[in-house]
Amino acid sequence: ESYRALNGLYVLHDELGSGGFGKVKLATHLLTGQYVAIKIIDKKKIGNDLPRVKTEMDALRTLSHQNICQLYQYIETTEKFFIIMEYCSGGEMFDYIVRKERLPEAEARHFFRQLVQAIAYVHSLGYAHRDLKPENLLLTEELKLKLIDFGLCARPGGPGLVNNKPLDTCCGSPAYAAPELILGQQYLGNRADVWSMGVLLYALLCGALPFEDDNMQLLYRKISNGRYYEPDFLTNSSKELLKRMLQVDPERRITVNELLRHPWLNSTYQAALKWQTIYDKNLVDEDVAREMAYHYGTQLGTMVGKIKEWRFDYLTATYHLLLQLKARGEKFALPPPR
Ligand SMILES: COc1cccc(Nc2ncc(-c3ccc(C(=O)NCC(=O)Nc4ccccc4)cc3)c(OCC3CCNCC3)n2)c1
């Protein structure tokens, strides 16, 4: 199907998945020929949840980090929102773990460090993710991890409860939800995120979930007891870290700041975790701007100024996609001015 709003800009291909408010389709950004992921949200379907989508849009506009799927462009029409995002060609972390059954400690560390960096960054901006699970961790072809918030949005400090039912239970799988969240208590998003990261680390290392039961009540019981099976192949340092993260009492749970310095994460790495973003909104890549100035027939300085407005329009999308090509060492050229 095609939409007038995308004509001449993007061509839609097959569906990558469908979530709470809409679906995500693979698409091609015509000017660069690069793939993007387009989340199409039908305004009629979200009804009075519109503020929540606006919050996600605000979150996305501020989030720019090497381990978070980048927002490129967003188009609003009378009936729809089109959210054009970075496409991760490596697919979901979930499928990667299933294929490899479980990851050796060194590989789990490679991915987990990137997740901690993304979450430390999201928390530093006052957001909590609240829906961490393997489906929301995507991979690039260079096996870099990219965090998304596929289902709902992350709200700055807002209550994680919808009509007093924990968010995850009413729409996501609670297997990753912290005990205080499923017990419907008021909770700190940051601490609930640490618990979910503990569940994810367990999944990376063991290829299974620490708390699992088809019966929701028994699953809740297991989560609030916080006891889980420790396979023999787990090293003592992995066991120790998991124990610190899967603390039922949020007060006793390790914090993100302690995580950033934990020996398990830093053991084989020289560099400490670089959780800050590597992107600077005031820094525009000159090679990319020059190519765009050539195509659009403007002075370089004028183009740099336009890019710095970060209007999340087609120009912003073109800039990010050319920058990605350059970062991959690939030639990037736009067709000459019409
Ligand atoms: C190759 O085979 C495959 C196979 C599968 C996928 C891909 N690639 C691929 N790339 C990109 C996406 C995508 C990016 C961003 C968003 C988004 O909604 N961002 C919003 C966002 O991230 N907020 C946010 C982030 C952090 C904090 C706060 C807010 C949504 C989708 C995708 O989707 C497909 C779904 C399918 C169901 N499971 C989840 C992914 N898929 C490729």
Q: What is the 3-state secondary structure (H, E, C) of the chain?
A: CCCHHHCCCEEEEEEEEECCCEEEEEEEECCCCEEEEEEEEEHHHHHHHHHHHHHHHHHHHHCCCCCECCEEEEEECCCEEEEEEECCCCEEHHHHHHHHCCCCHHHHHHHHHHHHHHHHHHHHCCCCCCCCCHHHEEECCCCCEEECCCCCCCCCCCCCEECCEEHHHHHCCHHHCCHHHHCCCCCCHHHHHHHHHHHHHHHHHHCCCCCCCCCHHHHHHHHHHCCCCCCCCCCHHHHHHHHHHCCCCCCCCCCHHHHHCCHHHHCCCCCCCCCCCCCCCCCCCHHHHHHHHHHHCCCHHHHHHHHCCCCCCHHHHHHHHHHHHHHCCCCCCCCCCC
* pLDDT tens digits along 209-257: 999 999 999 999 999 999 999 999 999 999 999 999 999 999 999 999 9
Q: 92 CA to middle of ligand 1, Å?
A: 8
Check residue 154 and give its pLDDT: 40
Written as six digits, the tokens of 164 are 């007093």
For helices 314-327 and 286-296, the axis angle rounded to 10 degrees is: 130
> What percent of the chain is modeled with pLDDT above 70?
92
User: What is the mean predicted confidence (pLDDT) over 70-79?
Assistant: 95
Long-range contacts of 265-274 (CB under 8 A, 24+ apart): 265/109, 265/112, 265/113, 265/116, 267/109, 267/237, 268/106, 268/109, 269/109, 269/113, 273/113, 273/116, 273/117, 273/120, 274/117
Place of tokens 């305004």: 43
Residue 75 has pLDDT above 60, yes or no: yes
Cβ of 69 less than 6 Å from ligand 1: yes
Cβ of 122 less than 6 Å from ligand 1: yes
Q: 306 CA to middle of ligand 1, Å?
A: 28
For 43, 175, 214, 229, the CA distances from 75, given in Å and listed in that order, are 13, 34, 40, 47
* pLDDT tens digits along 154-204: 444 443 333 334 444 444 568 999 999 888 887 888 999 999 999 999 999
* pLDDT tens digits along 264-274: 998 877 677 88
Q: Best of 150, 152, 153, 190 to mutate for ligand 1, by most ligand atoms within 8 A of CB?
A: 150
Check residue 22 and give its pLDDT: 84
Q: Best of 53, 88, 123, 129 to mutate for ligand 1, by most ligand atoms within 8 A of CB?
A: 88
193 is an active site residue:
no
User: Which residue out of 131, 149, 168, 193 is catalytically annotated?
Assistant: 131
Residue bearing the bigger pLDDT, 18 or 256 = 256
Cβ of 84 less than 6 Å from ligand 1: no
Check residue 172 and give its pLDDT: 53
Q: Give the C-alpha separation, 315 to 293, whole Å.
A: 11
Q: 221 CA to middle of ligand 1, Å?
A: 31
The residue whose CA has the least distance to atom 29 of ligand 1 is: 149
CB 70 within 8 A of CB 86: yes
Here the ipTM equals 0.94
Q: 135 CA to middle of ligand 1, Å?
A: 8
Task: For residue 214, report the phi and psi dihedrals to the nearest 5 degrees.
Answer: -70, -30
Task: For residue 321, report the phi and psi dihedrals to the nearest 5 degrees.
Answer: -70, -35
Q: 72 CA to middle of ligand 1, Å?
A: 13
Other CB atoms within 10 Å distance of the CB of residue 233: 11
User: What is the mean predicted confidence (pLDDT) over 26-53?
Assistant: 91
* pLDDT tens digits along 88-114: 999 999 999 999 999 999 999 999 999
pLDDT bin (cut points 50, 70, 90) of residue 45 is: confident
Residue 150 has pLDDT above 80, yes or no: no
* pLDDT tens digits along 7-17: 999 999 999 98
Residue 153 CA: which ligand 1 atom is closest? Answer: 29
Q: Best of 13, 115, 148, 320 to mutate for ligand 1, by most ligand atoms within 8 A of CB?
A: 148
Cβ of 59 less than 6 Å from ligand 1: yes
Residue 207 has pLDDT above 50, yes or no: yes
The residue whose CA has the least distance to atom 37 of ligand 1 is: 17
CB 182 within 8 A of CB 168: yes
Check residue 168 and give its pLDDT: 42
Residue 89 CA: which ligand 1 atom is closest? Answer: 1
Cβ of 24 less than 6 Å from ligand 1: yes
* pLDDT tens digits along 291-307: 999 999 999 999 999 99
Q: Give the C-alpha separation, 93 to 90, whole Å.
A: 8
Cβ of 156 less than 6 Å from ligand 1: no
